[in-house]
Amino acid sequence: MERKSVTIRDVAREAGVSVATVSRYLNNSGYIGKASEEKIKKVMELLDYKPNEIARGLAKKKTNSIALIIPDIKNPFFPELVVAIEDVAKSKGYSLILVNAEHEELQNNTFWRTFQNRYVDGFIIASFQFSDKMRDELKGLNIPFVKIDRAADGDSYNSIEVDNYMGAKLATEHLIEIGCKKIAHVSGLPISKPVIERMNGFVDTIRPHYPDKEILTYEGDFSLESGMKVTKQILKEHQDVDGIFLGNDLMALGSLKQLQLLKKKVPEDIAIIGFDGIQLTQMVEPEITTIQQPIYEIGVMATTNLIDLIENKSTELMKMVLDVQLVKRGSTIGFRGNKE
């Protein structure tokens, strides 16, 4: 026989107090006499009463939940980020809602209103360019938010980013230092600051070294498939390319796969380098050289600061820019190229 669930009314009746008194006890709001408090506590233990946390959250219009909005759950960068965010959220008594959303969805008022109706306490936003329309919509909801990754725009409003420009310079300089003579860059879609900064870092580094040569930039979409497709296009149009800097690691993995299909030796014939520092770059042969972001630190800082905003422990975040580092691996070490 199924056990009947115990309700707040059952607790009130057994304790000889009103439902309102039990509610005040559960929510720690308002005065309750010591005797009544002890009765309620004992009855709850006797009846094994567990308050409905969701209902309590809705009643208080606070659910201790935060939403992480990302553009592509298939990209291993984001699951690695989730680990850090969830670690911090759990330690502070918050749950995480993971939302995979396209750029167009974020421009829709209904998208944001749905979260207001669910009383989500805050957002960590990593999806594409953070537009003025999105900012105004979130301000209207009066829900705190922090921007990271592709949404980080470098202003002074709740933004945590990495030094994408310097990362691109490090990547490009490394390819030049190992002897690459003709280097191409594959960017993501140029609608976010990180993509544009990585491209600018590449162009500004290449130009002084090869002032008379064409600067080769191609556009991907941060997917493995685009890394394969664009790499094939590069070699079709420029057979003498001997170095490729890809705007993220997932495209670099695609590039490696395509080069192997084309019977090109990496790094002997062509050196490749990615950007992000995801663990998957160490699980292929050769391992891929990358510009490593502090992924876990980004997640920790974003979550900690968001919860501080939610709990009124701080006001707006100032702009935060974290350092990146070059991690040299097999996809560039051992490059031979054309010996002139």
Q: pTM for the complete prediction?
A: 0.79
| 308, 196: one domain | no
165 exposure class (CB count in 10 Å sphere: 0-12, 13-18, 19+): buried
Q: What is the C-alpha separation between 118 and 57, in angstroms, rounded?
A: 10
Highest mean pLDDT among 58-72, 112-126, 127-141, 214-228: 214-228
Whether residues 271 and 284 fall in one domain: yes
What does the alpha-carbon distance between residue 262 and residue 83 come to, in Å, rounded to a whole number?
36
* Residue 339 forms part of a structural domain: no
Residue 169 belongs to a domain: yes
Cα separation, 50 vs 62, whole angstroms: 18
Other residues' Cβ atoms within 10 Å of the Cβ of residue 339: 5
Eight-state DSSP code of residue 316: S
| In a domain? residue 335 | no
Question: Which H or E run includes 171?
Answer: helix 164-177
Dist. CA 186–CA 209, nearest whole Å: 19
pLDDT band at 340 (very low <50, low <70, confident <90, very high): very low
Of the candidates 216, 212, 214, 164, the one whose C-alpha atom is nearest the C-alpha of residue 185 is 216
Q: Kindly state whether residue 256 falls inside one of the protein's structural domains.
A: yes
Q: Which amino acid is at 157?
A: Y
- pLDDT higher at 126 or 269: 269
Say how far apart CA 266 and CA 247 lie, in whole Å: 18
pLDDT for 89-100, tens place per residue? 999 999 999 888
Q: Which domain holds residue 98?
A: 65-162+295-322
Q: Domain of 110: which CATH number? A: 3.40.50.2300
- pLDDT-above-70 percentage for the chain: 87
Report d(CA 23, CA 242) in Å as an integer: 70
Q: Choose among 195, 224, 192, 197: nearest CA to 106.
A: 192
Residues 174 and 288 grouped into a single domain: yes
Bigger pLDDT: 23 or 195? 195
pLDDT of residue 139: 73
Instruction: Confirm whether 78 is domain-assigned.
Output: yes
The answer to whether residue 72 is domain-embedded is yes
Clarify whether residues 314 and 275 are in a common domain: no
The answer to whether residue 340 is domain-embedded is no
Neighbours of 50 (CB within 10 A): 9
- Residue 91 phi/psi, 5-degree rounding, is -65, -20
Number of helical (H) and strand (E) elements in the chain, helices listed first:
13, 12
Claim to verify: residue 121 and residue 170 sit in the same structural domain: no
Q: Please give the backbone phi and psi of residue 162, each rounded to the nearest 5 degrees, phi first.
A: -115, 165
Q: Which helix (H) or strand (E) holds 165?
A: helix 164-177
- Shared domain for 79 and 39, answered yes or no, is no
DSSP state of 311: T
| Residues 289 and 218 both lie in one domain | yes
The sheet carrying 65-70 orders its strands as: 95-100, 65-70, 122-125, 145-148, 159-162, 320-322
Short-list 205, 174, 169, 335, CA closest to 259: 335
Residues 298 and 163: their CA atoms lie apart, in Å, by 12
Cβ–Cβ under 8 Å, residues 175 and 245: yes
* 266-296 pLDDT per residue, tens: 999 999 999 999 999 999 999 999 999 999 9
Q: Is residue 57 part of a domain?
A: no
10-36 pLDDT, tens per residue? 888 888 888 888 877 776 666 788 888
Residues 311 and 258 occupy one common structural domain: no
Query: Are 84 and 172 in the same domain?
Result: no
CA dihedral 32, 35, 39, 45 (to 10 degrees): 80
CATH number at residue 40: 1.10.260.40
Same domain for 183 and 113? no
Instruction: Indicate whether 12 and 117 sit together in one domain.
Output: no
Q: What is the pLDDT of residue 137?
A: 73
Q: Residue 274 in contact with residue 222, Cβ under 8 Å?
A: no
Predicted local distance difference test score (pLDDT) of residue 32: 80
Q: How far apart are CA 272 and CA 270, in angstroms?
A: 7
pLDDT exceeds 60 at position 3: no
Look at residue 250 and tell me whether its pLDDT is greater than 60: yes
282 and 253 in a single domain? The answer is: yes
Instruction: Answer yes or no: is pLDDT of 323 > 60.
Output: yes
**Which residue has better confidence, 52 or 111?**
111
- How many domains does the chain contain in total? 3
**Rounded distance, CA 177 to CA 206, Å?**
12
Q: Is 154 helix (H, G, I), strand (E, B) or coil?
A: coil
Mean pLDDT rounded to a whole number for the chain? 86
The predicted model gives 297-318 an average pLDDT of 84
Rounded CA gap, 322 and 319, in Å? 10
